[in-house]
Amino acid sequence: MTTDPSARSPDAPLRSFGRIKSRPIKPRQAALFDTLMPSVKLPDPAAGPIDVAALMPGAKEVWLEIGFGGGEHLAVQAARHPDALMIGCEPFINGVASALRHIEEGGLKNIRLHADDARAVVQALPDGSLDRIMILFPDPWHKARHNKRRLIQPAFAAQLARKLKPGGRLRFVTDWKDYAGWALERFLATPGLVWMADETADWKVAPEDHVVTRYEEKRLGDTDPLFLEFERV
């Protein structure tokens, strides 16, 4: 598991996330990296294309959550949809530790984790393999000089669209007005993606299946959460 940014390839894209570790991980959660992580770890995307069907034979859907934070949303969705394979990516090691705890406590068998940059996973996934993509509260990089580090860039948006099946959905949620506008502009310019909003409530009111996380409750942004939902056509 790569946790040291200095170990990344010089050709790797700019980091789209901040810190990768904060407080010491609790002993119980640290132990899960040895006991549970090997069985739920996603294959290394650097090794080649990911065989989605082999990860969970018979899965009816495949979901990808980019930046799952503490794993609350990922775990709840996995419990609600036990027949769907849930792929979660998160470089923040404390968040991965928390997700492992949720997986163990919930007895969840349909989650696979990647403890690093999601962009490598997206590149390794087959085109047209995903039913849902969830990007909830990514690092906003709200200083103009740092905007180039934002996850949502034109090339990545186009790549996400290609990974979705026809009719697949992409949900982007942020509590920063500027990032919402930035992301909307780039997704609208992405061939194959259609914004599903018809009225203001469609992006200001949380979808019925939304799961409120501890991060969202902190209200760290400059607006209430904004929900942008797109469909692959």
Assigned domain for 4 exists: no
Residue indicated by tokens 């989605």: 52
pLDDT tens-digit profile of 72-119? 999 999 999 999 999 999 999 999 999 999 999 999 999 999 999 999
Query: For 40-59, b where at least 16 C-beta lie within 10 A, e where not — what string?
Result: bebbebeeeebebeebbeeb
Assigned domain for 7 exists: no
- What do you get for the CA distance between the two ends of the chain, in Å? 36
Assigned domain for 2 exists: no
Assigned domain for 24 exists: yes
Range of the domain at 218: 17-45+52-232
Assigned domain for 3 exists: no
pLDDT at 157: 98
> Higher-confidence residue: 131 or 16?
131
Amino acid making up residue 109: K
16 has pLDDT over 80: no
How many angstroms separate the CA atoms of 71 and 84, rounded?
16
20 has pLDDT over 60: no
22 has pLDDT over 60: no
3 state SS of 148: helix
Assigned domain for 148 exists: yes
Task: Give percent above pLDDT 90 in the chain.
Answer: 79
Assigned domain for 71 exists: yes
Indicate which CATH number applies to the domain containing 208.
3.40.50.150
pLDDT at 214: 87
Residues 18-27: contacts with CB under 8 Å, at least 24 apart: 18/139, 19/92, 20/91, 20/92, 20/93, 21/92, 21/93, 21/94, 22/92, 22/94, 23/94, 25/93, 25/94, 25/97, 26/97
Assigned domain for 175 exists: yes
Structural domains in the chain (count): 1
Token representation of residue 133: 């993509």
Active site residues: 139
Mean pLDDT of the chain: 90
